[in-house]
Structure formats: structure tokens, C-alpha cells
Amino acid sequence: MVTTVSTKPAGGVSTGTKNVHIGGTGRRATGGNGSRGGGQPPNGGGGDGGRERAFRDAAPQQYRIGMWLALSAILMMFAALSSAYVFRSTRTQQGWQAFSVPSMLWVSTALILASSATVEVARRALRRGASEVYRRWLVLSLALGFGFLVAQLLAWRGLVGQGIYLATNPHSSFFYLLTGLHALHLFGGIVGLCYLMLRGRRDATASGAAGKQLARVDAVGLYWHFMDGLWVYLFALLFLWR
Amino acid sequence: MEEATTPIEPSAAATEVGAAGTDAHAEAAAAHAPHGHHGPPTGFIRKYIFSIDHKVIGIQYLLLAIFAAFTGMFMSVLMRLNLTWPGHKWTILETIFPLGAPGGVMTPEFYLSLVTMHGTMMVFFVLTTAPQGGFGNYFLPIQVGAEDMAFPVLNMLSFWVTLVGLLVLISAIFVEGSTIVGNTDFVNNFLGGGGTGTLGPIGGWTGYPPLSALGKVAGPGQGAGATLWITSIAIFCIASLLGALNFITTLLNMRTRGMSLMRMPLTCWSWFTTAILALLAFPVLLAAGVLLLLDRHAGTSFFIPGGLVFNDVVQAHKGGSPILWQHLFWFFGHPEVYIAILPGMGATSHILSTFARKPVFGYRAMVFAMFAIGLLGFFVWGHHMFISGMDPRTSIAFSVLTLSIGVPSAIKTFNWLGTLWGAKIRFTVPMMFAIGFVSLFVAGGITGLVLGQTSLDLFIHDGYFVLAHFHLVMGVAAIFGMFAGVYFWFPKMFGRMMSERLGQLHFWPTFIGVYCIFVPMHIMGIVGMPRRYASFQEYDFLRPLDPLVLLVTIAAIVTAAAQFIFLFNFIWSIFKGKRASGNPWEATTLEWVTPTTPPPHDNFGGHLPTVYRGPYEFAVPDAPEDYVMQTTPDAGEGNVAAAGAGQGSGQGVQGSSGNGHNGQH
């Protein structure tokens, strides 16, 4: 991992945060500097070292691209499971007994929606350069994330109290499976937030790490929003399609 | 010629360009240590074991695949022996597999477990691992002009996860009823119980439920062994996802100056397409695997229908659908076929062009054909399920889509022929394997048009015709692509040439051998020989095929034996092969302009090359040589190159040094 060379001035903070430019790499190369993806600052320093440096600054972009790719893989997995769910609930309905919405799920939905908002506030605060505000909202997001997991766990316990287990019937199997896998992925998001917290101290002191930090926050934020949307989708699938 | 080297690194470039191909990686790395932006690791473990260098990881993948390939090949020979001489007593087998072959006689369950392990080993740990994880890892960053993969640590992780997957798969062989680990508490409580007297799971590499979902009750190999088998596949899925993510990011974000998408070698396009397929297909298999594990261990009924009675015991499951598994599995399974073959196509295009000394015919069409194949590959999974009771209207749709893959495939084939047309071909060993790839791809692919038609497939399905088809097109053709790649890139990877003479000796028996194995199998399939039967002794109508069965077995043994020539050549050449120059094949792409051979830790000695042209500029009119390196500026662009300090000119020096060292032709 290239970590050493970036000495970009603070202006790079705002340029590095454009959207991921996956399709945009097909431009004709001219043999000059311009063959990289979007959001690059113009290369000021002539000579060899300057050109090298301009290239290294493309590195933050890779966090965003990597995250989009990871999300597409996760999306495929849940798409496969959703199709299995729909297939099972329509084609072979044998033993299909849907239960009504555990009320705890409304709480968890509210929590995750709120957490998505706080992550976004934190992200924007960092982009403004307000790193103390950023840290505070990050902590709040983390708390909401844990709150969501606890609410999910309580919902599970409620169902177990009613005698509804994983193997009880197909609907409950899919319920536990989908919510469980989502919780697992959300836990990954929590790990990501923790990483940002730990990383934040180092990034605050290291010079020129701002672009990378923004990219990391963008990536984790993207993941978090995706988990939020995924939960809303799963909630709708499990209880509207039954 | 050294005067043009870059001002920043006089020592490294000057010494290493001249002595291109000095022995070791280690030396090259050491020479560059003071200049490296991320210094090369020191110490054996960081450098060769837990390395984050994509080149080392590529070689690790390759070695893993070679091990898996020889293991899988050994299993296939055992299967042929049993098919040809069922009931024969092979005394040595008793010592190796006391349970699978008691008294030296292979049991039918042993045969089935060989089928399963051979398939899983070959599909996942050879066909998916070597072309993408091996060559892709080593050469994708170099060919696009990057220092390393985008996420080197993730890259290391994906190799080690793959290795864990392989170890878990191998452990599935030993856990069943073995005296070492059989029927311990762990096996009984956590894995679903050991079986008796067999070797590994018997469900086949497709793992169809309910056989694969019911656990020990379904058969002797289906307890702990099958659990480990499905776990291994799930682990492999994760490894592939990590790899695919890395490949795509690297290709999108780390191309060097001037390396536009349409200037990439076709190998890079093939690895890119393959990575996209892997990224979208493996999650589906992972999902299916999770469901299967839940069915096996948590009492759910995703795949298990109600009312099943095994050994006079009514199974508690109800309402699941085995067809659901087939849909999920083949939604992964068909793209998987292209994951195996596309890198071979890329390597073949690359190598054909190099040794035909002509540009690839229809570069753009090749790229689009590759994407068309990848895209269509996601919509044809149903052709594996024509006999599953599918609605005929659905199967017509799948059939039409399947046959339409013939169009991009034909575009590729004709473009390969167009590349070869009228060329002064240099018949090196990599070139012969690349031509062999085209031959096998056509021979195996053409029967795809037969199998893609529902009415024909209904008759031929689950027989030797299918077996012959996919072994030719996805198995052997892909393996030929790998051999072409090994012989072609070996000089760059190890700094030495492989023996041409031994290569020829390897090529001919292999090429003729595989045709002798798989052409007769088509005939057997049409006669009606079914797959996955341990023996055909009971079937009188198959008796006339006995001579063919014997022929196939002899051909298989000869072909398998020929692979040891390759193995010897590979190992011997690493240590004793003729030293290779920086560009022994007079090729044009970036892997041949590295300052040392093998390339230094950061590939280009701290200075990424600049690309001025497409990848296959052979036989350019008015050019001083019959090829122009990608880093050679146009005459009109000379001032640009001059402005680029030592960059372009330094690489130009490397290109011409390649000429001087050419000892190959």
C-alpha cells in the first residue's frame, strides 16, 4: 500500500470526494497526465517527481471503487436469497406460515434510519473540516448501530418466546436467515466505524492524509447507507410478501 | 545504452538492464531497496510466505493449482482404472485407501467420492485459481503499468483463504470413517457424523440435494465429509470475491499514463471480464451454500421436499425444493464456465498475436465478444436443467440464449484464425499450446450447439456426451490456455527459459492424448453410457464399447504420464534453464519492459512506464523492428517523450535490449 508520498495541499480535500468514476476511464489517453479517473487535481509540479505524485493521489479513489464492488457482491447474495424466498413462498407453499411483524422491528428500523442520518452528518462535517463534530456524530452512529443489533436480538427473543424457531416453518427460516445475515453485515459496518475512529487520531496528525481519510469515510458511509437500505428492503420483503 | 537510464536510479537500472535475468528476485529486490517507495520486504517469511507482492502471490496461486491439478489428475486415472477393470485388485490402493478400497478393490462409493473430489478440485482449485489468481495476479498489474494490486493485503488474504479452502476440501477425504479422525465427538456433533468405509463426499461437484442436504443418512460419504466439502466451497467463494474486487479496482484505478482501456492487452480484458463474472456469480453460490448448510445442520427445509424416507426413516423436513438448489447453483455454475475459459482466451489472443507477428485481428471485436460471452453467460443457466421438469417455453428461451453464445464465440474463433492467416508463424511451445487451445475450444464448443437444444439434450443429458463436451471446452482447453501461459511467461517469472525440446515432448502426447480421451466419449454418450456409474458390467448394451473404454483409459494414462514431463521441465528450468533476456519473445506489452527479469518488487523500479500505443503493434510499416513496444513514442511525439524525463527513453532502451538478447529464434 502506498502511504508515503502524498504531500497534496489542503485544497485536495474537496477535490477528492467526487463520485466514483467507474465508467469514466475510457477517455483517450494522450500520453500526458490526463489518463486517470475523475477528481484529480491538476498537476502543478513539472518534472518527474511531480508526475509520480499526481499518480499516487489517485489512490483514495480505490476505496470508493472497492466499496462499490463489494456492495455489488453483497447485493447479488441478497438477490439470490430473495429469489429463493419468492420461489419458496409462491411455488411450493407447503408449510408456509407467515407471522406478523414483531413490534421490536419498528424500533430497529427507526434506529438504523437514524444511524444512516448521523453517519451522513459526520461525513459532511469531516468534509467541512470540522473534525470534532465528525467524531461526535461518529460515536452517536456507533451507538445507534449497536442499538439496532440489540433491537434485532430482542425481536428474535420475542419470536423464540412465541415458539417460533429457525426450523419452525419456511417463513421463519427465511426471517432468521435474512435478518441474521444482515446483522452480520451490519456488524461489519460497525467494525468499519470503529476503524474510522481509531484511524481518525492518526489521520488528524499525519500531513496529507486528509484525502485518504475522506475516501475511507466515504466508503464506510456508503456501506452504512447500503445496509440501511438493505434493511428496509428486507423488512418489506419479509412482511409485505408473505 | 545505459546512458539513457533515469537520473534517480542510476545504479539499479544500469546494472540490471544489462544483466537482465540475473538469477533471483532477491537480488533484484535488494538492488532496489534504497529507492523503493514501499520498500521490498526483507526476511524469508515476509518475502515468500506472507508476501503482499502480487508476483509472489501469483506464483503461490500457480503452485497451489499445480498441486491440485496433479491430485485431480491422479483421481481421474483411478476412475479410468475402475471403469476399465472393475473389481480388479490393486494391492497398492489398499495401503493408500484402506477404507475406500478394502482389499485393493475400489468400492462404488469410493468411485463416487473420486468423481466428487476430482470435479471440485479441478473446477475450483485449478480452473478458477490458476488462470485468474495465478497469471492474472502476476501480470495484470504489470501489463497495466501498476506497482502492485490496489489492495495488496487483501490480495495476500485471498490466497491464504483459498489455501484454507483447499485444506478443508482435502480434510473432507479423511474425516469419513477414517481411523485418524473418524467418528470423534467433533465429527459427530459439529459436522454431522462420519460415514463408514468410504472416502469423501459422494454427491458430485454439483452437490444436488436431497442427497447432499440430508447428512449421514443419505449415504456413506454424506456426513462430515459433505459438510466440509460445502464449507470448503463457501470459503473459496469468499477468497474469489476478495480477488475479483482487487482485480477490478486495480484495472480501473491503477493504469499508468497513456494506458487507456482500448490499449490494454486482451489478457487484461479477459481478467477484467472474469473478475466481473466472479464478483457477481460467487455470492450466489455462497448464498446457496449457506442454505444447504442450514438444511444439513439447522433442520430447515429450503431444498428438502417432504415425505422422504431413507433407510425406513421418514425425514422430518418438508416443503423444500431441490430445483431451487439447481437454479442457484447453475446461476453460479454457468458463469463459472466462463470464469475458467475467458483467461485462456485472453492468453491465447496475446500469444497468437506475438508469435504470428501480426496485430490481433479485430481487437475491438475481441473485447466486445468477450463481454458478450460474459453477459450472456448469466442468462443461460437453465440449459443445465432441461430435464428438471422445466416448462418447455422456458427451456426454449434458455435454448435460444445458449445458442446465441455461439455468435461471440465464433467471432473470437474467426479472429484467431484471421490473426494466424498469412502469418510467418514462430512455432514455439507457447504458440503450439495456444493453437491447441483454439482447436480444443472449437472441438468442445461445437457440441455445445448440440447440447443447447432441448430435444437433443433430453436424450444426451447425464451421459458421456456431456462429459466429453465440458471436459474439452472448459477443462482441457482452459488447461491448454494455462500451459500456453506458463511456457510464455515463465522467462519473465523466473528469469529462465523452459526447455523447448521437453515442451514439444509434452505438447504432442497431451494434444493427441486429450483427443483420444474425449472424442470416443462423445460416441459412448450417444450410445447411451451414463455418467457417474462406477462400472458398466451389468449393462449388456454397453459391452460393445469395451474396446473404446480401454482406448480412453490407455490414452488417459499416457496423457497423465506426459504431464510429468511438464512438471520436470518446470522445476528443472527454474534452477537450470537457459537464462532469459528481458524480452525473449520480442513481444510488445509492458511486462517485457521491466528493468529486471523477474521484475523488481515495485515492477518498474520506481518509475511507471508511459504508454503511447496499442498492445499488438507487430509488422508496423517503416518501423525499425517488426514490433513496436507500447512504451515507444511515435516519431511525432518525440518531444512528449523528451519532456517525460527519463521515463519513455529509459523504457525504449529496455525494448531494444530485448532485441539484442533474443536467442530464441
Domains parsed from chain A with CATH numbers: 59-240 (1.20.120.80)
Q: How many residues does chain B have?
A: 665
Mean residue pLDDT across chain B: 87
- Please determine, for residue B221, whether its predicted confidence score (pLDDT) is greater than 60: yes
**How far is the alpha carbon of A42 from chain B, nearest alpha carbon, in Å?**
14
Give the pLDDT confidence of B502-527 residue by residue, as tens digits: 999 999 999 999 999 999 999 999 99
The Cα A214–Cα B588 span in angstroms is 39
**The pLDDT value given to residue B178:** 54
Contact by Cβ (8 Å): B212, B203: yes
Give the pLDDT confidence of A159-212 residue by residue, as tens digits: 999 999 998 888 999 999 999 999 999 999 999 999 999 887 777 666 667 788
Contact by Cβ (8 Å): A51, A65: no
Give the pLDDT confidence of A83-126 residue by residue, as tens digits: 999 988 887 667 788 888 899 999 999 999 999 999 999 999 99
Contact by Cβ (8 Å): B652, B631: yes
**The pLDDT value given to residue A43:** 34
The answer to whether the Cβ–Cβ distance between B245 and A173 falls below 8 Å is no
Q: What is the mean pLDDT of residues B168-173?
A: 90
**How far is the alpha carbon of A133 from chain B, nearest alpha carbon, in Å?**
30
* A157-190 residues labelled b (16+ CB within 10 A) or e (exposed): eebeeeebbbbbbbbbbbbbbbbebbbebbeebb
Q: Which residue of A has its CA nearest to B278?
A: A73
Chain A residues within an 8 Å CB radius of B611: 29, 31
* Structure ipTM: 0.86
The Cα B90–Cα A87 span in angstroms is 49
Give the pLDDT confidence of B273-292 residue by residue, as tens digits: 999 999 999 999 999 999 99
The Cα B438–Cα B434 span in angstroms is 7
- Percent of the residues in chain B that have a pLDDT greater than 90, as a whole number: 72
Q: Which residue of B has its CA nearest to A96?
A: B319
Q: Is A214 exposed, middle or buried (0-12, 13-18, 19+ CB in 10 A)?
A: buried
- Please determine, for residue B73, whether its predicted confidence score (pLDDT) is greater than 70: yes
Give the pLDDT confidence of B189-212 residue by residue, as tens digits: 667 666 555 678 888 999 999 889
Q: Which residue of B has its CA nearest to A6?
A: B37
Grid cell locating B301: 427445509
Q: What is the mean pLDDT of residues B227-253?
A: 96
The Cα B498–Cα B495 span in angstroms is 10
What's the whole-model pTM score?
Answer: 0.86
Three-state DSSP class for A211? helix
Q: Determine contact: A23 vs chain B, CB below 8 A.
A: no
**The pLDDT value given to residue B657:** 36
- Please determine, for residue B129, whether its predicted confidence score (pLDDT) is greater than 90: yes
- Please determine, for residue B3, whether its predicted confidence score (pLDDT) is greater than 50: no
A20 — pLDDT class (breaks 50, 70, 90): very low
The Cα B357–Cα B341 span in angstroms is 24
- Please determine, for residue B18, whether its predicted confidence score (pLDDT) is greater than 80: no
B7 — pLDDT class (breaks 50, 70, 90): very low
**How far is the alpha carbon of A180 from chain B, nearest alpha carbon, in Å?**
12
Chain A residues within an 8 Å CB radius of B645: 47-48
The answer to whether the Cβ–Cβ distance between B257 and A181 falls below 8 Å is no
Give the pLDDT confidence of B24-64 residue by residue, as tens digits: 343 333 333 333 345 677 788 888 889 999 999 999 999 99
- Percent of the residues in chain B that have a pLDDT greater than 70, as a whole number: 87
- DSSP-assigned states of every residue in chain A: ---S-----TTHHHHTTSPP-GGGGGSPP-SSSTTS-SSPPP----HHHHHHHHHHTTHHHHHHHHHHHHHHHHHHHHHHHHHHHHHHHHT--TT----PPPTHHHHHHHHHHHHHHHHHHHHHHHHHT-HHHHHHHHHHHHHHHHHHHHHHHHHHHHHHHTT--TTT-HHHHHHHHHHHHHHHHHHHHHHHHHHHHHHHHHHHHSTT-HHHHHHHHHHHHHHHHHHHHHHHHHHHHHHH--
B656 — pLDDT class (breaks 50, 70, 90): very low
- Please determine, for residue A34, whether its predicted confidence score (pLDDT) is greater than 70: no
Handedness of CA B19, B25, B27, B32 (dihedral sign): positive
Contact by Cβ (8 Å): B42, B612: no
Contact by Cβ (8 Å): B350, B370: no
**The pLDDT value given to residue B606:** 85
B158 — pLDDT class (breaks 50, 70, 90): very high
- Please determine, for residue B565, whether its predicted confidence score (pLDDT) is greater than 70: yes
Which residues contact residue B498 at a Cβ distance below 8 angstroms, ignoring those fewer than 6 apart?
Answer: B429, B486, B487, B490, B491, B569, B570, B573, B577
Host H or E run for residue B649: helix B647-660
Q: Determine contact: A82 vs chain B, CB below 8 A.
A: no
Q: Determine contact: A164 vs chain B, CB below 8 A.
A: no
The answer to whether the Cβ–Cβ distance between B241 and A62 falls below 8 Å is no
> Considering only CA atoms, which of B162, B220, B164, B215 is closest in space to residue B190?
B215
> Considering only CA atoms, which of B126, B136, B130 is closest in space to residue B73?
B126
Give the pLDDT confidence of B286-321 residue by residue, as tens digits: 999 999 999 999 989 999 988 888 878 888 888 889
Contact by Cβ (8 Å): B477, B344: yes
Phi, psi at residue A41, to the nearest 5°? -70, 150
The architecture that CATH gives domain B54-576 is Up-down Bundle (1.20)
Q: Where are the domains of chain B?
A: 54-576
**The pLDDT value given to residue A164:** 92
**The pLDDT value given to residue B30:** 38
Selecting from A3, A31, A59 the residue whose C-beta is nearest the C-beta of B612 gives A31
Q: How many residues does chain A have?
A: 242
**The pLDDT value given to residue A207:** 62
